[in-house]
Amino acid sequence: MLLSYREALNQAMREEMRRDSRIFLIGEEVGYYQGAFKVTKGFVEEFGPQRVVDTPITEAGFTGLAIGAAMAGLHPIVELMTMNFGIVALDQIVNNAAKIRYMSGGQLSVPLVIRGPGSAAHQLGAQHSQSLEAWFCHVPGLKVIAPATPHDAKGLLKSAIRDHNPVIFIEAQLLYGTKGEVGDGEYTIPLGQADVKREGTDVTLVAYSKMLLVALEAAEQLSREGLDVEVIDPRTLKPLDLDTIMTSVTKTGRLVIVEEGWRFCGLGAQIAESIYSAAFDYLDAPIVRVTGEDVPIPYSRPLEDAAIPDVPRVVTAVKSLCGAG
């Protein structure tokens, strides 16, 4: 079935909420407005305002409330209108959600999904354009997912909801309208399992979320120039499936990592370190990172474009790595 990313998320939550009455949705505009990005279209009609809970604009308060509810046995899905607002709730996410199980010696758990759109999307300005996944990945006690396709979005969101841990689920805003084939009926995708999106033998390209689409397009262009690119989507950023990346690198000997987030302390640095430690002998060239620039994302279109990786930059990076530049 051809579905949009938005519809796939809607379907995942709908199916899970029908299955388990402990699951409820909470956030700004999730109910009567049907979601700022219309991900929760039709939810309040089906599940009622008790389970589709509109909140005031108070991310710390309602995220904390959701954590408390999870401690008491419910399974909240918190929708952040954008992941940028997660910063407002960061005390709750980092100090409470991520730590409560550990601090209690395993007595308490926080089965919770915090989801919403991330990254830049056509001139939203610096405070609404951030890719904060590295922040969340840094904190022990959280799982972090950033699916790129409608199929992955549905299967991974269902797994996130069934997980007994706090899970940060990042949806790139520009992906909501993208379409893809989604499997019929019930399916889940295990967390922590990368996916080879395109097979190739010359170079490995790792990219997630919106950057996967950039990477796949770059791979197509490069194939016309005779380079056979393997593209891997980690899908789950934490826990990270390094085995799949490792297997690919041992085959190709070359690795390019693409991420929209800032370069300094970015996720790609972690992946590069892991591959250097475990597969150095297999590398035929240094690992290359294509990343967002270390600036607040600017408003003006040409400046915004300059701040974010695009297809030409990925193509150039791969070609120079492969000595074809």
Partner 1 sequence: MANMDKVDLLSLYRRMLLIRRFEEKSAEMYALAKIAGFLHLYIGEEAIAVGAIDALRPDDYVISAYRDHGHCLARGSDPGKVMAELFGKATGLCQGKGGSMHLVDLPKRFMGGYAIVGGHIPLATGLAFASKYQKQDLVTVCFFGEGAVPSGQAHEAFNLAALWKLPVIFICENNRYGMGTPVQRAVALYENVAEAARSYGIAAERVDGMDVFAVRALMRRVVDQVRAGQGPYFIEAMTYRFMGHSMADPSHGHYRTKDEVEEHRKRDPLVVLKETMLNQAQCSESDFKELEREVGEVVAAAVTFADESPFPDPASLHADVLVEE
**Which of the residues are catalytic?**
59, 128
Choose between 164 and 301: whose C-beta lies nearer to partner 1: 164
Residue type, 54: D
Does the protein bind partner 1 through residue 63 (CB under 8 A)? yes
Choose between 69 and 245: whose C-beta lies nearer to partner 1: 69
Q: What single-letter DSSP state applies at residue 92? A: I
At closest approach, how far in Å is the CB of 28 from partner 1? Answer: 13
Which helix H or strand E contains 153, and what residues bound it? helix 150-162
Mask: binding to partner 1, 71-110, rule CB under 8 A, as x and -? xxxx----------------xx--xx---xxxxxxxxxx-
At closest approach, how far in Å is the CB of 164 from partner 1? Answer: 4
Q: d(Cα 325, Cα 317) in Å, to the nearest integer?
A: 8
Choose between 19 and 301: whose C-beta lies nearer to partner 1: 19
For residue 77, what are the contacts with CB-CB under 8 A and spacing of at least 6? 13, 23, 24, 25, 26, 112, 113, 115, 161
Backbone angles phi, psi at 256, to 5 degrees: -120, 130
Q: Which of 69, 170, 222, 232 binds partner 1 (CB under 8 A)?
A: 69
Q: Which of 130, 165, 204, 248 binds partner 1 (CB under 8 A)?
A: 165
Choose between 95 and 274: whose C-beta lies nearer to partner 1: 95
Does the protein bind partner 1 through residue 192 (CB under 8 A)? no
Q: Which of 14, 29, 61, 251 binds partner 1 (CB under 8 A)?
A: 61
Longest dimension (CA), the chain: 60
- Can you state the percent helix, strand and coil of the chain, rounding each to 5? 40, 20, 40
Does the protein bind partner 1 through residue 141 (CB under 8 A)? yes
Pair of tokens at residue 87: 């910063």
**Total residues contacting partner 1 (rule CB under 8 A)?**
41
Choose between 45 and 91: whose C-beta lies nearer to partner 1: 91
Does the protein bind partner 1 through residue 55 (CB under 8 A)? yes
Torsional class of 111: left (φ above 0), alpha (ψ -120 to 50), beta (otherwise):
beta
Q: Which of 30, 44, 70, 93 binds partner 1 (CB under 8 A)?
A: 70
Q: Which of 14, 15, 29, 65 binds partner 1 (CB under 8 A)?
A: 65
Q: d(Cα 2, Cα 90) in Å, to the nearest integer?
A: 36
- DSSP 3-state of 239: coil
| Cβ burial, residue 138 (10 Å; 0-12/13-18/19+) | middle
Q: d(Cα 233, Cα 211) in Å, to the nearest integer?
A: 9
Residues in contact with partner 1 by the rule CB under 8 A: 24, 50, 55-56, 58, 60-74, 91-92, 95-96, 100-109, 111, 140-141, 143, 163-165
